[in-house]
Structure 1
Amino acid sequence: GGFAELNWKAIEGITLTAGGRIDFWRQSSGSRLENKISDGSVLRNDTFPVRNGAVGNFRAGAHAELADGLSLTAVGYSGFRVPTINELYRPFRVGSDITEANPNLKPERLWGLEVGAEWSPTPEFRLDATIFRVWINDAVSNITITTKPGFNPALRAFVPSGGSLRQRRNLNRIEVNGAEAEAAWKVSERFDIAMRYLYTNPKVKRSVDAPALVGNRLAQVALHQGTLSAIWHPTDQWTLKVEGRGVSSQFDDDQNARRLSGYAVLDLYADFMVTDYATLFISAENITNSMIESGASATGLVSLGLPRVISGGLRMRF
């Protein structure tokens, strides 16, 4: 592949940028072999054809430096993603939920627009805000095929009672609307506060294979995420940090039937620089021992993320 970029300072305080990129991709030697454990006999031995292509993308933007520490930015861009080896060839199973691979997946295509502002009235304070809209064609997603128990001849998979069968497939169009904001305040030479917030609302706009999904939110994407952190350096050797994180509820499936609860956690961290090359540290993640729901199966089994974890050690630099 290759790329080129042009930066042009049109007038004082205004910079225009434009860029283009071309990527060549190729998939080859794909195969899937399954053997019977008891006697080693071959259950399936699939080989997949070579696929390749070329994709061009662009990026164009403008940045304006205004008075009183205010700047504005606008950007338009495109992108693409080739399906991974796992998505193409490797099935997986979690409990009674089976997800089949799909060797016929198309590459994803993306187009996006962003408008943002940054305000820094003093060297100690900065506030950023951005709104964005993204369109994704042929987004790869885990699509529910059936919840009926028994053998599915089309995908050659057996669905247990209470389970589900999914396959990775392309969703024709997804639209993502969102906004993010960040504030940073250097209270003193030794004390800093930062806050970050992200709102993301991805919805299915068109799906030929599964029209019932139109209007649903994408699985495993929370609408709201935020962090609030403070860092204190009481001396040149000590660093103390506290951070709170919050995530709103999200869905674990394409049908928006399995909701994962939101959560809030508190993390603590401290380190002490013994020498220029050695630092002692200790961290406590999820010190409140909050319950973090990371998955939900068709049978109602809920998977949990990390509970309270306390760790420490010696970090060496050479």
Structure 2
Amino acid sequence: MKHCRTRLLTACLGLSALTAPAFAQQACAPRYPPPTTIAAMFDMAAVTADTLDALPDVDVVLAARGGQDLSKYGLRHSHLAFLVRNDQGSWDVVHLLNRCKTDHSDLYREGLVNLVGESSITTDLRVGVPTPAVRGALKALLAGAAPQARALHEPRYSMLAYPGSTEYQNSNQWILEVTAAAMAQSGDGTVLDDRKRTLDWLKQRGYTPSRMHIGIGKRLGARFFADNVAVTDHPASERISGNYSVVTVESVFDFLHRSGALERELSIPHQTPVPAVTGTASPRQASSP
């Protein structure tokens, strides 16, 4: 029964994401997956909520979903978000999104279904549970209007944003920087409320970005046709070689593990869509009482 109740609650959260209090409003027309995929999305959101509800005293975690196919780079997950328990006891997704592949991003507060999306049928959800001290600092940073978390948001978006520059930002980079602010505050009380200080703090503590090789053909295509990709913030050596430093899910989890900021990891399995039942009843069956 608990799973059914949570499933219904999670479904409502996903459907009401456009009208619930949010950091920003959606800018793109919605896309509707097949019914079997939508059902799997709700199922995975329900399992996620039930799993998190079973963790004692946990009210904020990091979660990584699939999405962009990064398998050729050895990466399984592409997008990070915070999952935060709200005052009603259910879970909100707080993350940075680049809608419609434009050159800017916004911060969103949505339901769980919005996070798992269509990757719920192909990719597990990777969940990192921070230590109690980091969780407490994160919960405070993300509460209400979240001014400090907003101060670490750069609206100019690039999928390949350079981790050593404040010119652009990608979705994983915002999660990393807000988590860094929570780590600093829960550690020695240092307040990181601007991106330059936060990036310096991460560098001093050994954060290492992933390296992704982008061939010349794709680099030229992105340069001329994709508004959400820019590389002008990267050093000339990276632009020439095509080996770009990028904040990825893997690099964030690696850093948090090395820093002792994660208490544990969980994996929530993807869901197999149940095929829709087709066919029509015979006249005799249709008339049965």
Task: Tell me which interval the TM-score lies in, with the shorter structure as reference length.
Answer: under 0.3
TM-score by length of 2: 0.27
Question: Which protein has the bigger strand share?
Answer: 1
TM-score by length of 1: 0.25
Q: Whose radius of gyration is greater, 1 or 2?
A: 1
Question: Which protein has the bigger helix share?
Answer: 2
Q: Which has the higher contact order (CA 8 A, sep 6+)?
A: 2
